[in-house]
Amino acid sequence: MTTLTLRPGAVTLAELRRIYREELPVTLEHSAKPAIEASAAIIAKAAKGDTPVYGVNTGFGKLASIRIPPEDTATLQRNLILSHCAGVGETIPRNITRLMMALKLLSLGRGASGVRWSLIELLEGMLAKDVTPVVPAQGSVGASGDLAPLAHMTAVIIGEGEAFHKGEKLKGAEALKRAGLAPIPLGPKEGLAFINGTQFSTAFALAGVFDAWTAAQSALVTSALSTDAIMGSTAPLQPEIHTLRGHAGQIEAAHVMRELLDGSVIRESHRKGDSRVQDPYCIRCQPQVTGAAMDVLRQAGRTLEIEANAATDNPLVLTGAGEIVSGGNFHAEPVGFAADMTALAISEIGAIAQRRVALMVDPVLSFDLPAFLTPNPGLNSGYMIAEVTSAALMSENKHLATPCVTDSTPTSANQEDHVSMAAHGARRLMRMNANLQHILGIELLCAAQGVEFRKPLDTSRPLQNAIKSLRQNVKALGEDRYMGDDLEKAASLIADGTIAKSAGVALPDFAK
């Protein structure tokens, strides 16, 4: 398997997406080692001194005023990790955990955290040799860092906690042993460096953006199919309309849809003599809505790329000045905002797609398509309840899109009195994307069925290719059959990008 070599401070979204999608092992560029060792030397010196330095020779949080003697600094760090392993809930997915580990390497690699190089090598070794810590999903409020989940990750480094190795769940020490690795006791500040940070929230937020971007590309295809299915107009896609407004995503979405619909015989068949003057908004305003969502996703991606390259623990070692300074880079507010923005984009892509589904199944609005897209309505219900499912998922995503960063609450005896809630703000994106994939999958099924009802008129070549990809997995609906499998297969084709690729959609990607 390929190993990615990463340069701290200069990692791209494309590299991060590969780690997420392909679960690649990573190493830091060796050029990062001098700065890492220089900061570790400053911490080692401070630990032996008399000056109180937060987290080095003091307690934590509200207990920061308590001095810790030099002989107890190792115990201090060990106790920190064990006491902070307080997460609950289901274990987070393997690819998210590995992305989180890579993000922690990048943060430590900036040379401002004061950890030894041997810990960098151990974390790299765990990624290379398939040691994946068991990390519960719940417990972080997004400041002071993602403490609980990162503590569960770090526990394995010291031979505690649990980890998966080659698919088997083991005690942390045993997982390391089977991989030919050995735990390392933590020195001054090292435990704090590992758990003070935004890597849990950032990993989930990145995954949310990556999956939402794939869905957005698929939505351009399903929306173009829906346009042809109801014999909608392409006049609202004219480039001058969109350049007069100027939003990049809108211009791009309209361009892609024009290309997708170019050459459609269905479209040409009703350019003249069509009694309809305007299509409903869900057809006419697709570039304005999906394009706006694309702009939001790109903005969120830029924020998260910056965060992925950041040093986010506390205190930070300023090697140039030889100082150890307390700050607040652990506060995940930027990540929380990015997650909230992404949630809004996911919700809106799904909301307008669901209205297109409703349009197609309604014989009053679908321009002569049979009710619920079944050839024999009455005896068969066709896509009646699939549309209801899409409405349920749309509504659920609307509720999930409620902002999380505004929901601060004081913690840790009011020492940490404003928090970001970025962790569950980012974590909900996985559920929202799954809902969106199913909404778009249902639209794909309905739109393909609608286009096929227009025979002998054909849609465009790119959209024919999309239907062909669908029909290789889901046959056209004749008599009613068990619907669940069809919905899952269609959602999978949305999620893995098959439909977008089959139609030739290749947007200029923010993750290049």
Integer CA distances (angstroms), 479 to 232, 375, 377, 465, 489, in order: 27, 8, 10, 24, 19
Question: Are 183 and 159 a contacting pair, CB within 8 Å?
Answer: yes
Helix (H, G, I), strand (E, B) or coil at 108: helix
- Using alpha carbons only, give the angle 346, 347, 350 rounded to the nearest 5 degrees: 85
Strand-pairing partners, residue 318, are 323
Neighbours of 160 (CB within 10 A): 18
- Label residue 372 left, alpha or beta by phi (over 0 means left) and psi (-120 to 50 means alpha): left
Structure tokens of 399? 């509720």
Integer CA distances (angstroms), 486 to 228, 387, 443, 470, in order: 22, 13, 12, 10
- Using alpha carbons only, give the angle 35, 40, 41 rounded to the nearest 5 degrees: 100
In angstroms, the CA 359 to CA 367 distance is 9
Told to judge if 54 belongs to the known catalytic residues of this protein, a careful annotator would answer: yes
Helix (H, G, I), strand (E, B) or coil at 27: strand
Element (H, E) at 314: none
Single out the residue of 432, 442, 454 nearest to residue 484, CA to CA. Answer: 442
Q: What is the 8-class DSSP label of residue 370?
A: P
Integer CA distances (angstroms), 333 to 155, 269, 505, in order: 26, 52, 34
Dump strand ranges (E) for 74-225: 88-91, 131-133, 136-138, 162-165, 168-171
In angstroms, the CA 496 to CA 363 distance is 32
Helices (H), 262-381: 265-269, 281-284, 286-308, 333-361
In angstroms, the CA 212 to CA 433 distance is 6
In angstroms, the CA 32 to CA 106 distance is 10
Question: Where do we find the tokens 């505690």?
Answer: 160
Helix (H, G, I), strand (E, B) or coil at 393: helix
Strand-pairing partners, residue 162, are 171
Point out the catalytic residue in the list 54, 281, 383, 482.
54
Please provide the size of the chain in residues: 512
Question: Are 172 and 163 a contacting pair, CB within 8 Å?
Answer: yes
In angstroms, the CA 188 to CA 115 distance is 8
Q: Which residues are catalytic?
A: 54
